[in-house]
Amino acid sequence: MKLTVIGCGYLGATHAACMAELGHEVLGMDSDMDKVAVLNSGKAPIHERDLDDLIAKHTASGKLSFTASYAEAAAFGDLHFIGVGTPQQPGENAYDLTHLFSAVRQLAPRIKNPAVVAVKSTVPVGTAPRVRDLLHEFAPAGDAIEVAWNPEFLRESFAVEDTLRPDRLVFGFESGHSWAEAVLRQCFEKIIESGTPTIVTDWATAELAKASANAFLATKISFINAIAEVCEASGADVGQLADILGHDARIGRRGMRPGLGFGGGCLPKDIRGFMARAGELGADQALTILREVDAINNRRRERMVDLARQQLDGNLAGKRITIWGAAFKPNTDDIRDSPALAVAQKLHELGATVTVTDPQALDNARKTHPELDYVNDPIAAVQDADLLLHLTEWPQFSHVDPARLAARTATPRVIDGRGTLNQITWREAGWTVRALGRP
């Protein structure tokens, strides 16, 4: 098949490369010419496992190319995926759909033949009919264009794996649109044939599937972090507790790691956008739980700042604090709503001198947080520090020898915000160890 992917960020670039891997001819389209140039040179614009290899392989094979032209994209194929970003509106909970509607408005007048437009972006429920109306109004092909809703559930740092081997595929259609279903089934044929559950539904259910999945994942994390607060008040150990709970298959252990909480470009804005939309629909009471989920999550960051203050005898001014981690989670260079950087920023505002290290995200962090100091090597970063905070659980950090590290500072004190440092070894090496949710 010949297909296009409009928007080549995390979602779109990964989707384009994976569709080429499935054997399709793919044209990725992004209005950012620099990004298009990077992609056409065979490189990924982001740090994402296996993505560089896939883009290099398929730009070389001729199956994958990129353009900044809507006209080229519209003329290229008859299946157009849209994967542009839908961020949070500044100062509001609601989604900013500017990029989505702008992409549809620019694509529409250029689509001359019958086509399927399959939207992958995360949106408030009720967006699909608005996309259909724009396409039918502005496209020469008019109502020969069918809109499909195809939410994406990939995790950053597993994006390629999740796209090629998803837990499920969801296709949402306006009733009676079997042509679009046949086109999507053909596109994902190899994935469907490998036994992936494929759910065909209406637009609203498909839109809500994505919002509810992220709301549930965020709730699971905040649930265990709420329990962590009780652990801190009672002397219990949330790490062991999560393990005990995880043995119950109904609860499970995945996605329930206690710690500094969730960040990134998705979960925080998606729970807020979901609440805002429920409010517009008159169903706001249904989602008040998410307000609490958000509040618990933010309290973890405040708690980390309080613990740091406690460890430094109540005074942060002039203290040297080293932070391990800038990315919102390991194996990515994404720093959007990073809990680690939020804590770093707060400590800096309170007068501490903050040095941050991260294996991949320092270039991005420097751009948004120029007031912080940056050091590449996690061991050198600890030189003369009054306190070390472990805030993003890169495997590299767990492998550092705490004895070697202790020699770098006169006051070996560490707070583990992710629960992955071996407390026994660190204590034996002379460190004073505190951890969120643990005695």
**Which secondary-structure segment (H or E) carries 82?**
strand 79-82
Among 267, 287, 290, 381, binds ligand UGA (CB under 6 A): 267
Among 13, 27, 108, 266, binds ligand UGA (CB under 6 A): 266
- The answer to whether 263 is a known ligand-binding residue is yes
State the minimum distance, in angstroms, from the CB of residue 83 to ligand UGA.
10
**Which secondary-structure segment (H or E) carries 368?**
helix 362-368
Nearest CA to 418 out of 224, 159, 215, 220 is that of 224
Task: Note whether 2 and 28 are within 8 A (CB).
Answer: no
Among 35, 99, 257, 269, binds ligand UGA (CB under 6 A): 257
Both tokens assigned to 188: 């994902």
Site size toward ligand UGA (CB under 6 A) is: 22
State the minimum distance, in angstroms, from the CB of residue 91 to ligand UGA.
22
State the minimum distance, in angstroms, from the CB of residue 235 to ligand UGA.
22
CB atoms within 10 A of CB 297: 23
Listed in sequence order, the residues at least 6 apart from 141 whose beta carbon sits closer than 8 Å to its beta carbon are 111, 112, 113, 114, 115
Does 266 participate in catalysis according to the annotation?
A: yes
Task: Decide whether 262 or 274 has the Cβ nearer to ligand UGA.
Answer: 262
Task: Decide whether 214 or 409 has the Cβ nearer to ligand UGA.
Answer: 214
Window 151 to 170, contacts with ligand UGA (CB under 6 A): 152-156
Among 123, 221, 231, 305, binds ligand UGA (CB under 6 A): 221
State the minimum distance, in angstroms, from the CB of residue 329 to ligand UGA.
4
- Decide if residue 263 touches ligand UGA (CB under 6 A): yes
Number of H helices, E strands in the chain: 18, 14
Distance CA 429, CA 318 (A): 26
Distance CA 231, CA 245 (A): 14
Place of tokens 């699971």: 220
- The answer to whether 155 is a known ligand-binding residue is yes
Stretch that binds ligand UGA, among 26-34, 76-84, 251-259, 353-361 (CB under 6 A): 251-259
Among 329, 348, 369, 438, binds ligand UGA (CB under 6 A): 329
Contact string (CB under 6 A) for ligand UGA, positions 351-390, x = contact: ----------------------------------------
Angle between helices 339-349 and 288-311 (to 10 degrees): 50
Nearest CA to 273 out of 122, 86, 90, 95 is that of 95
Which DSSP symbol is given to 31?
A: S
Distance CA 266, CA 275 (A): 14
State the minimum distance, in angstroms, from the CB of residue 409 to ligand UGA.
26
Instruction: Give the residue numbers marked as catalytic.
Output: 266
- The residues of the shown chain that bind ligand UGA, judged by CB under 6 A, are 122, 152-156, 214, 217, 221, 255-257, 259, 261-264, 266-267, 270, 328-329
